[in-house]
Structure 1
Amino acid sequence: MSLLTIILNILLPPLAVFLKHGLGMTFLISLLLTALGWIPGVIHAFLVNGNR
């Protein structure tokens, strides 16, 4: 995982997921989790971007 991805995962989780996976269910889940609370969005972004 690059330094840019790590920074985006922390600051803008949906953007980090979008740049890595594009529009899709993963992006929508990230957007929803970030809207519900910033920390769940960050955790989801790290899990999703760390797997691929």
Structure 2
Amino acid sequence: MYGWIWRHLPFGIPGKLFGMLVLIAGAAALLWFYAFPAIDPHLPFNNGQLTE
């Protein structure tokens, strides 16, 4: 899969590196703004209650 993406990105090595950075940043943004907020209520880390 990664080889296919690398072969299909244009503009030589500098363009491929820039394209890969853009793809990685886009994937991180999708996770950060959509996936993580969607699963946040289901994670056990939100229970900040202290019991005695």
Pick the TM interval, shorter chain.
Answer: 0.3 to 0.5
Which one has a bigger Cα radius of gyration?
Answer: 2
Q: TM-score, normalised by structure 2?
A: 0.39
Higher relative contact order (CA 8 A, sep 6+): 1
Q: Which has the higher helix share?
A: 1
